[in-house]
Structure 1
Amino acid sequence: MSAPAAPPAPSRRHWGRWLLLLVLGLALVVGVGLTFFLDPWLRRTLERQVTERSRGRYQLRVARLHTSLWRDNAELSGIRLRTVATSPDSARLPPVRFALAQLRVSGIGLLALVRRREVPIDSIALDSLSLHLAAWPRGGSKRPLHEQLPVPGIRVGALAMRHARVAYGPEQQPAVQLGEATVVAQDIWLSAAGAADSARTGYAAAVAAQLRGAALRVPGHELKLVRAAFSSRRQRLQLDSVLVHPHQAISNTRTPAVRLSLALPRLVLAGLDAAGLSRNRFRADTLRLQAPHLALTLPAQSPPTLVQMLQPYLRECRLNRLEVSEGQVRVAGLELAPAIADVQLSATKIQVLPRRALATDVLYARAWQVSTGRATGTLDAPYYHVSWQQLRANSQTKLLQVAGALVVPTRSVEALARGKGHQAAYVTVRLPEIRFSGLDFAAAANRQQLRATLLRVRTPRVSTRSDGRFPINPSYSVATPEGLGRLPFGLAIERLRVEGATINMSYRSPRDPQPGIMSIDRLGVELRNLSNDPRRMSAATPLTGEATGWVQNRCRARLALRANLLDAQGRHTLTGEFGPTPLTILNAMLVPTRGLALRSGQVQRIRFQLQLDRTAARGTLWGEYSDLKLQLLNQQEKPGLLHRLGTSVVNGIFLRDHNPRRPGQPVQPGRVLSAREPRFSVFSLWRQGLVSGMLNSAGVPTGLAKKLSEAK
């Protein structure tokens, strides 16, 4: 029988208990040490490191730092960073004032940090941040942020920054001020893999931000923003109440840089590829501008193109759709100085960079639609005011329609002539409707060419008044066929049609304060091949056209025109005829301006053929009329004794009272010959040719008829 086992030795039990107590004691000492000594040590170390690394430039103060190694958390409060002195690195380290009420870091992967691996962090929260940066740091590292970390990477589950305020620039007048901002980011991956992830915005999987109150100062302007909101998940950016004010008022005086004033209640950018912005790529679905009010003064020199402005910052710029509603625009620095209300605009497929535009693109877009309300401007400033009530344009349907257009002088007839220093046409134009069909918007926008299938003008009313007491305009007229050929822009309109026009003309001669008047009513005009394009315009394919109307609303007239607009000599032909009418309808113009009256006369028909150029009008006129009698008048428009005698001589010797003299005889043609005055328009030459032909047809010798037709 074996002996019983011996009990454990008391000494072993004794050392086991002491070892356990020792471990517990050490743990207690370490715990107490970490609790009471680690946090102060970390706080002092942080403050010292900032001072040493900035060489005394910055001072950091942390009011409280608390860590919990068991929970992997850290909390700092009362953080202050300020500039306290100059240092050798002062040029690189600008003055800074930084304050942060609270910083919380949760779920720190301490083991990964110790092992120098990618460090996970559950969340980081910053509350009540205030930063003022006097200037941008110089000479910083150009390497990406993840390459400057002491570990391969950091991955933060969530980052939240609330109640942040930022200012940049001089203390008294900062260039940038951000009121109160809130930023929330999800899954921030600071690593090479995170930087390469094209779905991330920067390093974050999602970013959302809100901002209340912002101000930005740039050369010549100040920008203010009431509110902004951004979400990368929703792909949406919204700006509310954007205001831009220039330091100099908007005026017609140009300066080297553009000046603009903008009030924009709301901007919404939807479908924004936020991740692409960090890679210099802008892509978005829709940009909406609500009720923008824009006024600008153009710069003295043409600014760079949009492509040139964006190229240093973007590799790609695409916008699927642009929408503007209830806009107002005023442009100064142009003679026209347009001001346009109620602008509604939409554009599709906008692509600025890379610039692989189609020939049909209009201002970087595949298609535009524009409508406006009332618009105003000036012509030949400051003498004429121009306006329209409505405009509609669609680049896809190639239609442009203007309704209620009006051109009116801003001064009286005398004041207009006095201001110009010579006779000037005092013109009022009312155009109820102007309509372009087949308009090539791309040619107009990209190549400064006006090309259309049809230009239709409905029921225009034109009134002209002039004062012959002033000198003649010393400049050559541009209202000529060769003038159209020399227009500074391309012109190619297949058909121009004027319907139901009315033209009223008034002329105040030096001899009589009562003006002479003439009207053309129910005027219809159609021109074909109105072009200065050498591929369209030649002697073989000239401009052709017809016009019909009623002189003084009693005599029907018809004209036909052929002209080569590229002929430097201005050669063109005019044919036509006048229907039956009493000649007394001309007295309203003849009596006040020429001092003679038609006592009687009845036209059966007048036909004419004119050849005109830069020197003269030539041709033939056949006038069939009867019972022609003239009356010479004195200054009071009455027939005095000498005027009665002269009238008898003229009627008895010079004038042919019937043409033909007897029934069955041929009509005696009149020779058309009148020299052209280059200071007058081509319409004056047409009138001169008809007057010389009519006078010669009535028996006035050719030389005298020529001289009378050229009388000013």
Structure 2
Amino acid sequence: MSQPATDSVAIPVAATPRRGWGWWAGAVGLLLVLVAAVFLLFGLDPWLRQTLEKQVRTASKGRYELRIGALETHLWARTVTARAVQLRTQPTATADTAQLPDLRLAVGEIQVSGVGLLALVRREVLPVDSLVLDSVRLRLARLPATTDTARPLYEQLPLGLPGVRLGVVAVRRAQLRYGTVQRAVAQLSQASLHATDLELSAAAAADTTRIAYARTLTATARGLLARVPGHVVRVGQLHLASASQQVQLDSVRLLPLRSISSQRTPDARVALWLPRLQLAGLAAAALARGRFRADSLVLEAPQLAVTLPAVAPPPPHQLLAPYFRDIQLGQFRVTKGQVRVLGEDHRPELRQVTLVGTDIRPTAATYSSAQYLYYARAWQLRAGGGRLQVGAPYYRATFGSLQADTRAHQLTITSIAVSPTMSVEAMARRKGHQAAHVTVRADRLAVQGLDLFALARHGSLLASTIALGRVRVVTTSDGRPPINPNRSVVTPEAIGRLPVRVDVRRVRLQNGEVRMSYRAPRSAQPGVLAIRQLRVTLRNVSNDPRRMSAARPLTGEATGVLQGRSFARVAVRANLLDAQGRHTLAGSFGATPLAILNPMVVPTRGIRFRSGDIGAIRFQLQLNRQQAQGTMWASYTNLKLDLLNRQGRRDALRRVGTTLVNGLFLRDNNPRQAGQELRSGRMTSARELRFSVFSLWRQGLVSGLLNSAGVPAPLAKKLSEGE
């Protein structure tokens, strides 16, 4: 039987939900985030390290190789730390990289903090909180070549950044060396640097208040060594602080590669020990513009020895010109210094030097300016002692203290001593003729109204007053060697012929003493003449034609006590510009026994005054380059002479001669009797230009004294010239 057909019923089935593209995008995004996170956690540092190493190699065209031992980035903290960083020069070099410096750099750690990532993305000035480099070792085999066309540093920033601004830049424990492995040209044993607000940008480069792009800069260094031409410089420690505008160097040594020489050398040799140098008020920002500005420079206790070069170097302003176009220093000061200059005739040495210079401007303008001396507007010098050669090698001079002030126009020297370096015999042998052997000592020399500018620049002596106190002069002469063949310069006309200007309004000498000793060929015992309580005043000592003439000559007076017994007075007048050396001498001697002359005339002339007393002597003498002429008025009583042999005794021959001289030539008394006319003596003596003017004075006095005593004028003249 057939079954009945049934109607089909559709049973609804639940539809399967369809996964759309949004789900896939989310999944992919999550996956990318996970991959980025994994990359940032595990792959960013290696990638960044490799990228940096590759970029250095590419940018330097293979000249440099960068190796980074470890690199860590912390994006959330915005820090990057690199350790064991090494940058080395590769041996191969192309033509365009050969000028890059040959270096080896090792940095223990580099830490960059607070990097402005948003500014980096936007290509804006990149802010960085700090950049710290620790344990830096840098060796430069040679410095890079610099050219005027080199681009500024801020134009060479990577990623096209317009600038980088770092809050703090610090370099710690740095060692720097420039030169080969075997020989360092310059090096620093340890250095540190701290800079604030350092910005590499065009705006910062134009900011005149910044120092090398930084707002402030502090640096310290120890163990500095530098080789300069012929010398080595060593500095124990250096400290620079731009905020306080101070620079300080401690334990500075400048050592010549060849020892200091007493003779001039091709190049200068300088030995310097400087415990401390302090520079205050330094405008460090101006240095980049070639301007040096500072308030003061102080050198503490320097010890300087220098050998001058055979050829004088250029003046300091020319040597400084390549580095500074303008220099201004408020004050230069040296304390407790010591200076020794060799290779110069005088070889001066100064001890305990204090030197202060004001308004220092080493420029071409001040070099020749009448208002500046050695580039300073004023100088003050004090020295606690010193010495120098005078007429080397025959004399040396020493002094106890020295003070000079260009503003006060004063010079004061105390405890002066000028003494020979050898005996009178040795000096005569070395010179080959008779020579002055003079010792001078003075307690004080004071100069007022002194033009120190003219003295330093031209050697001219321009002053209002020169005063000497407690002067002692001792001269020793030996008449046995040949006479000096050269003309004497101790003459009035010699001052007029000086190549430098001399103009002193007044010269005064107080409380002086002169002792003259002369050994004649006839006797080993020297003759001695002494003058004590000497006072001298000279006026108008000048070779300036505007001040010196016959109408306005030099005038002067001198007083003293001869041989401790006779008061003497002398007056002089001289035109120092008179080529014939014409001058006049007038004077007087007080009452005294003639025996006071025996210490001089007995050993030198073989004559002894047995008796005789001078009442008074007056004289007037005219002198020139040919002769001395004048008149002497000598009053005396009971004049008797003894003629002596070389042993200083009266033998039979001398007894006869004594009788003849006393009986035939000598006038016992002048005047012969009371009320009679005083017989004057004729003063006549020829001048020998090889002798000083003082010899001519003495010759005139001797001739006049002999003629007054009755010796005929021709014989008196001959005897005086024989002196």
The residue number in structure 1 matching 2:443 is 432
Q: What does residue 711 of structure 2 align with?
A: 700
TM-score, structure 1 length as denominator? 0.94
Q: CA deviation at 1:595?
A: 0.9
1:663-674 aligned within 5 A: 663-674=674-685
Question: Is residue 2:424 matched to residue 1:413?
Answer: yes
Distance 1:438 1:369 in 2: 15
Contact 2:200 2:213 in 1 (8 A): yes
Partner residue, 1:64? 70
Q: 1:116 aligns with which of 104, 119, 123?
A: 123
Equivalences for residues 159-238 of structure 1 within 5 A: 159-238=169-248
**Equivalent-residue separation in structure 2 for 1:110 and 1:540 (angstroms):** 94
Shift of 1:535: 2.4
1:360 shift after superposition: 4.2
| CA deviations over 1:334-386 (Å, ceiling 9, x no partner) | 22222221112222222223735864433222322222112123223333232
Task: Flag the 1:662–1:57 CA change in 2: closer, same or farther, 3 A.
Answer: same
> Once the two structures are superposed, what CA deviation does each residue of 1:455-495 show, in whole Å capped at 9, x if it has no partner?
11001111111111211122221111122223343222111
- Aligned-partner residue type, residue 460 of structure 2: Q
Does structure 1 retain, via aligned residues, the 8 Å contact 2:571–2:587?
A: yes
**In the alignment, which residue of structure 1 is the partner of 2:261?**
251
Counterparts of 2:712 and 2:196, CA distance in 1? 100
Amino acid at match of 1:384: Y
* Counterpart in the other structure of 2:484: 473
1:128 partnered with 2:135: yes
Preserved contact between residue 519 and residue 553 of structure 1 (Cα < 8 Å): yes
Asked whether 1:290 is paired with 2:300, we answer: yes
The alpha carbon displacement at 1:653 in A equals 2.2
**Structure 1 CA distance, aligned partners of 2:469 and 2:417?**
13
Distance 1:10 1:651, change over 3 A: farther
1:300 maps to which residue?
310
Equivalent residue for 2:698, pick from 687, 690, 698: 687
Note if 1:29 corresponds to 2:35: yes
| Structural mapping, 1:638-677, within 5 Å | 638-677=649-688
Q: Which residue of 1 aligns with 2:496?
A: 485
Mapped partners of 1:655, 1:669: distance in 2: 14
Residue type of the partner of 2:153? L
Q: Does 1:241 align with 2:251?
A: yes
CA gap of 1:685–1:125, structure 2 versus 1, over 3 A, is same
Separation (CA, whole Å) in 1 of partners of 2:200 and 2:156: 10
Change (3 A) 1:388 1:10: farther
Q: Name the aligned partner's letter for residue 143 of structure 1.
A: R
How far did 1:397 drift? 2.3
Tell me which moved more, 668-677 or 197-206.
668-677
Are 2:270 and 1:270 aligned?
no
- Residue among 393, 396, 414 paired with 1:385: 396
**In 2 relative to 1, CA 622–360 (structure 1 residues): closer, same or farther, beyond 3 Å?**
farther
Contact 1:56 1:85 in 2 (8 A): no
- State the 1:128 CA deviation: 0.9
Is it true that 1:38 corresponds to 2:38 in the alignment?
no
Match of residue 108 from structure 2: 101
Structure 2 residue aligned with 1:637: 648
Q: CA 1:147–1:479 in 2, change beyond 3 Å: closer, same or farther?
A: farther
1:65 deviation in Å?
Answer: 2.3
Output the CA distance in 1 between the equivalents of 2:57 and 2:28.
41
Structure 1 letter corresponding to 2:120: L
- Report which of the two structures shows the higher radius of gyration computed on alpha carbons: 2
Shift of 1:139: 5.2
**Over residues 541-568 of structure 1, what are the superposed CA-to-partner deviations in whole Å (9 max), with x where a residue is unaligned?**
2211111111101111111111122222
- Residue 222 of structure 1 deviates from its aligned partner by 0.8
- Larger deviation, residues 96-105 vs 544-553: 96-105
> Do the aligned residues in 2 keep the contact of 1:318 with 1:353 (CA within 8 Å)?
no
Matches for 1:329-344 after TM superposition, within 5 Å: 329-344=339-354
Q: After alignment, is 659-668 or 264-273 more displaced?
A: 659-668
Point out the more displaced range, 194-203 or 530-539.
530-539
Q: Distance in 1 between matches of 2:409 and 2:105?
A: 59
Q: 1:340 to 1:64 in 2, by over 3 A?
A: same
Deviation string 1:392-445 (CA, Å, 9 cap, x unpaired) is 222232222111111222222222222222222221111111111122222223
Letter in 1 for 2:224: A
Are 1:58 and 1:85, in contact at CA under 8 Å, matched by a contact in 2? Answer: no
DSSP-derived class of the 1:352 partner? coil
Q: Does the 8 A contact of 2:86 with 2:106 survive in 1?
A: yes
CA contact (8 A) 1:522 1:550 kept: yes
CA deviations 1:674-700 (Å, max 9, x no partner) are 121121111111111111222222222
- Offset at residue 130 of structure 1 (A): 0.9
Q: After superposition, what is the alpha-carbon deviation per residue over 1:630-681, rounded to whole angstroms, capped at 9, x for unaligned?
A: 2211121112222222222222222222222333333222222212112111
Q: Deviations over 1:73-102 (max 9, x none)?
A: 322221112233132236413431111111
Q: Per the alignment, in what secondary structure is the counterpart of residue 275 of structure 1? A: helix
Q: Shift in Å at residue 586 of structure 1?
A: 0.7
For 1:239, what is the secondary structure of its paired residue? strand
What is the DSSP-based 3-state SS (H/G/I as helix, E as strand, rest coil) of the residue aligned with 1:705? helix
Distance 1:542 1:302 in 2: 40
User: Sequence identity of aligned pairs in percent?
Assistant: 52
Quick check: 2:512–2:534 contact (8 Å CA) kept in 1? yes
**Is 1:569 paired with 2:569?**
no
Comparing 362-371 and 98-107, the one that deviates more: 362-371
CA separation in 2, counterparts of 1:567 and 1:275? 62
Measure, in 2, the Cα distance between the counterparts of 1:145 and 1:568.
73
Distance change in 2, residues 1:386/1:526 (3 Å)? same
Report what 1:3 is aligned to: none
Q: CA RMSD in A?
A: 2.2
CA distance in structure 2 between the aligned counterparts of 1:125 and 1:12, rounded to whole angstroms: 58
Q: Is the 8 A contact 1:76 1:102 kept in 2?
A: yes
- Rounded to whole Å, the distance in 2 between the matches of 1:504 and 1:147 is 83
What letter corresponds to residue 265 of structure 2 in structure 1?
T
Partner of 2:291: 281
Deviation at 1:511, TM superposition (A): 0.8
- SS at 1:25's partner residue? helix
1:453 counterpart residue number: 464
Aligned counterpart in structure 2 of residue 350 of structure 1, from 354, 357, 360: 360
* Partners of 1:687 and 1:144 in 2: CA distance: 83
On the 8 A contact 2:333/2:357 being kept in 1, the answer is: yes
Structure 1 partner of 2:150: 142
**Residue in structure 1 matched with residue 162 of structure 2 by the alignment:** 152
Q: Is the 8 A contact 2:264 2:344 kept in 1?
A: no
Task: Compare 542-551 and 527-536 and name the one that shifted more.
Answer: 527-536
Matched, 1:86 2:92: yes
Answer yes or no: is the 8 Å Cα contact 2:621–2:630 preserved in 1.
yes
In the other structure, the counterpart of 1:323 is 333
Deviations 1:305-329 (A, max 9, x none): 2222222221221111222221111
Query: Contact 1:60–1:79 at 8 Å: present in 2 too?
Result: yes
SS for the counterpart of 1:460 is strand
Which AA in structure 1 matches 2:340? R
User: What is the one-letter code of the residue matched to 1:316?
Assistant: D
- When the two structures are aligned, how many residues end up with a matched partner? 704
Change (3 A) 1:114 1:534: farther
Q: Offset of 1:146 from its aligned partner?
A: 2.6
Q: Helix, strand or coil for the counterpart of 2:46? A: helix
Query: Which of 303, 313, 323 is matched with 1:313 structurally?
Result: 323
1:553 aligns with 2:564: yes
Contact 2:512 2:532 in 1 (8 A): yes
How far apart are the structure 2 equivalents of 1:418 and 1:322?
Answer: 48
TM-superposed CA distance for 1:62, in Å, is 1.5
Distance 1:666 1:197 in 2: 100
Using the alignment, how far apart are the partners of 2:259 and 2:16 within structure 1? Answer: 101
Match of 2:3 in 1: none
Residue in structure 2 matched with residue 394 of structure 1 by the alignment: 405
Q: Which range is displaced more, 380-389 or 210-219?
A: 380-389
Residue 16 to residue 504, structure 1, CA distance change in 2 (3 Å): same
Equivalent in the alignment of 1:50: 56
Distance 1:681 1:192, change over 3 A: same
